[in-house]
Amino acid sequence: MAYIEPAPLLDKENPFEAMMSRFQTASQILGLDDEVYNVLKSPARQAIVSLPVTMDDGSIKVFEGYRVIHSTILGPSKGGIRFDPNVNLDEVKALAAWMTWKCAVVDIPYGGAKGGVCCNPREMSAGEIERLMRSYTLSMIDIFGPDKDIPAPDMGTGPREMAWLMDEYSRTQGMTVNAVVTGKPIVLGGSLGRTEATGRGVMVTAMSAMQKLKINPYNATCAVQGFGNVGSWAARLLAERGLKVVAISDLHGAYHNENGVDIEAAVKYRDDNKGSLEGFKGAERISGEEILTLPVDVLVPAATEDVINSRNAEKIQAKLIVEGANGPTSSKADGIINEKGIIVAPDILANAGGVTVSYFEWVQNRLGYKWTAERVNRRSDRIMKDAFDHVFKTSQDYKVPLRIAAYMVAIDKVAKTYKYRGGY
Ligand code: NAD
């Protein structure tokens, strides 16, 4: 299988420091006092656990697991669980804080958390993963809870793992507690609309930004990097709203068609081809780097972090970047992009549609009731649109980029709530 080298991660930063540098800038502009700044800069709680698991060959392997609660100021903490060989405490701490800002920016009543286990699920059997997930859940039993800390899937975990988590937690409580986790299979209380929620939020953000920039969607072109859950849904929904999606890509290759890529055909091709676009006809093959620098109106990076970096930022021609991925723009590239006058709808705003519908899943579980997909979509669209408008107004009032404005909206909300609640 041909493999196109992904963009080198030249600006690879310590994720916690990258998040902190943006947090610091926004806090300074807000004039946040030292007391609140100090509370928000460190996580509220960090748990590190050792998880012995019996492997299929009878040996016992010990995995290291983490759960970091960054903040519970706005409500119970919320954040995914990552199963990946590169998981480390620094990364989990950064992602936990990111969740605090993401929930605050879309105004949902959650704090931020993140969890992870250092393991390689691709090399483990379903039984080994199940024992690891159940063991992790038991180790976190006094941390998790529908009113305390609500996990969700992240890299390397999905509905199957969330079902095991829910079951293990429920056993310890002697009753079914489906609100303890989101991202569950629909039959266990998962929400309709969750699968497409993040891509849909990217679409709503892009449409809201285009309206402000006076870009007519019917004359606009778009390139989408990453054709997994977020990228393919964003591409599909943007195409439905009139944009011409001229390029798509995944880890195996990038494809360009100036007359517009047929997104439904690309989705079908990917699904029939073990999740890969490799060999997709109906578009010309270009390099993975080129997709980021095409002359399009809207660029949606929806693959991975640091793809827009100090090496390629100068060459970007899009008028608007909507960050579907977490951290696709390095903080070094931020400055170059701003200088060029490109508008960036930042990750903590643009990809918050996922956590918004996770919140709806929890609400439905607690109501003991199921909403229609139409109701879920309508409500999440409204939340995403309101959040965009709030961030846009802040950016105009303070004359700052949308990224800093998003942090300001989030930090201001958490800081004000902290002031009302008070501390020791
Ligand atoms: P996914 O695994 O479904 O898809 C990722 C896609 O990106 C795949 O098509 C993969 O081939 C491609 N890819 C990976 N590296 C690439 C590279 N260097 N160049 C081009 N393509 C590359 O993942 P996803 O759920 O769509 O998540 C994508 C991003 O969005 C991640 O940063 C994730 O953290 C973020 N995100 C996801 C959600 C969600 O609800 N799924 C919510 C918020 C943020």
pLDDT in tens, 162-188: 999 999 999 999 999 999 999 999 999
Closest residue by Cα to atom 43, ligand 1, is 351
pLDDT of residue 20: 81
pLDDT digits (tens, 9 = 90+) for 77-98: 999 999 999 999 988 998 999 9
Q: How far is the CA of 229 from the centre of ligand 1 (A)?
A: 7
Burial (CB count within 10 angstroms: exposed 0-12, middle 13-18, buried 19+), residue 308: buried
- Domain 43-188 sits in CATH 1.20.1730.10: no
Closest residue by Cα to atom 25, ligand 1, is 229
Distance CA(214)–CA(268), nearest Å, equals 33
| Ranges of CATH 3.40.50.10860 domains, the chain | 43-188
Ligand 1 atom nearest to 354, measured from its CA: 40
Give the H or E element holding residue 236: helix 229-240
Closest residue by Cα to atom 5, ligand 1, is 228
pLDDT of residue 12: 64
pLDDT at 290 over 90: yes
Burial (CB count within 10 angstroms: exposed 0-12, middle 13-18, buried 19+), residue 73: buried
Ligand 1 atom nearest to 4, measured from its CA: 19
243-263 average pLDDT score:
97
Q: How far is the CA of 415 from the centre of ligand 1 (A)?
A: 31
What is the CATH architecture of 197-350? 3-Layer(aba) Sandwich (3.40)
pLDDT of residue 4: 41
pLDDT digits (tens, 9 = 90+) for 25-63: 999 999 998 888 888 889 999 999 999 999 999 999 999
Ligand 1 atom nearest to 303, measured from its CA: 7
Please, are residues 323 and 345 in contact by the beta-carbon 8 Å criterion? yes
pLDDT of residue 7: 42
Span between the terminal Cα atoms of the chain, in Å: 59
| Ranges of CATH 3.40.50.720 domains, the chain | 197-350
Non-local (6+) Cβ contacts of 3 within 8 A are: 251, 252
Q: How far is the CA of 382 from the centre of ligand 1 (A)?
A: 24
pLDDT at 234 over 90: yes
pLDDT at 417 over 80: yes
User: Pocket around ligand 1: residues whose beta carbon is below 6 Å from it?
Assistant: 6, 198, 225-231, 249-251, 288, 302-304, 324-326, 351, 354
Please, are residues 91 and 15 in contact by the beta-carbon 8 Å criterion? yes
On average, the pLDDT of the chain sits at 94
Non-local (6+) Cβ contacts of 321 within 8 A are: 298, 299, 300, 301, 308, 329, 337, 342, 343, 344, 345
Cβ–Cβ contacts within 10 Å for residue 242, how many? Answer: 12
Q: How confident is the model at residue 13 (pLDDT cuts 50, 70, 90)?
A: low
250-266 average pLDDT score:
96
Count, in order, helices (H) and strands (E) of the chain: 13, 12
pLDDT at 352 over 70: yes
Cβ–Cβ contacts within 10 Å for residue 135, how many? Answer: 20
Ligand 1 binding pocket mutation candidate from 225, 304, 311, 357 (most atoms within 8 A of CB): 304
pLDDT at 1 over 90: no
Q: How confident is the model at residue 10 (pLDDT cuts 50, 70, 90)?
A: low
Catalytic-role residue among 102, 114, 184, 413: 114
